[in-house]
Amino acid sequence: MKGNVLVVDDEPIVLKSCERILGAEGYSVSVAADPLKALEMLEAATPEAKDGYDIVITDLKMPGMNGIDFMRKLREKDPTLSLVLITGYPSQESIRDALALGIVDYLPKPFSPAILTGVAERAIEFKRRRASHDASAGGGGHDEDEMAAKLDTIIQKYKGKPGSLIPVLQESQELVGYLPPAVQRHIARGLNVPVSEVHGVVSFYSFFTMKPKGRHNIRVCLGTACYVKRAEEILQKLKDRLHIDIGEVTKDRKFSLESVRCLGACGLAPVVVVDKDTHGSVNPVQALDILKKYEES
C-alpha cells in the first residue's frame, strides 16, 4: 500500500474519480462529502495507527466550512500531513492562505489521472521527508538541506537588488525543474517578500511552471497560424505516442507535453519546441521523427 489518502469534496464525481484512480495505483482511499464528516474521520484515526492518513486532498469551496479553514484545523492536528488543495478558480487570498498552510500542491479542476497520481506521489514524498525531519530533531534530509542551500545561494546573489524576484525564480526553476509551493515559500522568506507576490509572478509568466517537467519538455503551438496548418493533428500524434495528455509527464519522466498560444514564430508554422530547440514547418509524421531523436538521445 502506497499510502492512506482522504479525499474531501462535495462533488460525488470527484470522490469517485479519486477513489478509482488512486485505488488502482495502490493507495488506500477514503472519501468524505463534507469537511465536518472528514474531521470526524481524522479524529478517529491517529498518525501512528495504520489507519492514520498520509495525504488529505480537499476542495476549496464546500458547504459548512471552506477548504482553508478545514486545512487550518488539520494542521493543528497533525503538522506532518500532506495537504493538497483542489481548485477551480481560486482567489489570490485563498492561494496566499493555502501556501501559508504549507500545501504540497494544487490540483486544478478538471484533472487527469496522471496529474492526480503525480501529486499523490509528491505528497507521499513530502510526508516522508517531513516525518524524517521531525525524527532527526530539526535536522532536514541531506537532499533537502542541499537543495535549500543552493536556493539560498541564488537568493543571496540577487537579494537587495531591484527586480530581484524574476531572476531568482528563473535560476531556481533551472535548479529544481519547477516551482512548487515549498520553493515559492522558501524564496519569499529569503527575499523577504509576501508569498502571494511570488505566487502572482509565477502564475503570470508562462515560462514559470508549478508542475514538474520531463527531461525533455515538448511545447506544441496551437496559435491561429499553427492551428490552421494541422497543429492539432501534431499534438494528437505526440499524445498517442507518449501516452500522456497536455500537462502530463511520461512514466519514465523523460517527456512532458504542453500546448501554447503562439511562440512568436508564426512564419515557421506549425511550430513545435523541444527544450530550447525550435522545429518549424513540422507535419504530423515529422513530429514523430523529431520525438524519436530525443527518445534515442
- Give the footprint of ligand FES on this chain (CB under 6 A): 221, 223-226, 262-263, 265-266, 269, 271
Least Cβ distance, residue 24 to ligand FES (angstroms) = 37
If the CB atoms of residues 228 and 285 are measured against ligand FES, the closer one turns out to be: 228
If the CB atoms of residues 46 and 206 are measured against ligand FES, the closer one turns out to be: 206
Q: Which residue is nearest to ligand FES (CB)?
A: 223
> For residue 218, what are the CA distances in angstroms to 38, 213, 224, 251, 278?
40, 9, 19, 15, 10
Least Cβ distance, residue 240 to ligand FES (angstroms) = 21
What does the alpha-carbon distance between residue 242 and residue 227 come to, in Å, rounded to a whole number?
21
Least Cβ distance, residue 270 to ligand FES (angstroms) = 7
Q: Which residues on adjacent β-strands are paired with residue 87?
A: 108
If the CB atoms of residues 226 and 257 are measured against ligand FES, the closer one turns out to be: 226
Least Cβ distance, residue 227 to ligand FES (angstroms) = 7
If the CB atoms of residues 262 and 288 are measured against ligand FES, the closer one turns out to be: 262
The cell 543571496 sits on which residue? 156
Q: Which residues on adjacent β-strands are paired with residue 220?
A: 259, 272
Least Cβ distance, residue 263 to ligand FES (angstroms) = 4
If the CB atoms of residues 210 and 262 are measured against ligand FES, the closer one turns out to be: 262
Least Cβ distance, residue 236 to ligand FES (angstroms) = 17
If the CB atoms of residues 140 and 280 are measured against ligand FES, the closer one turns out to be: 280
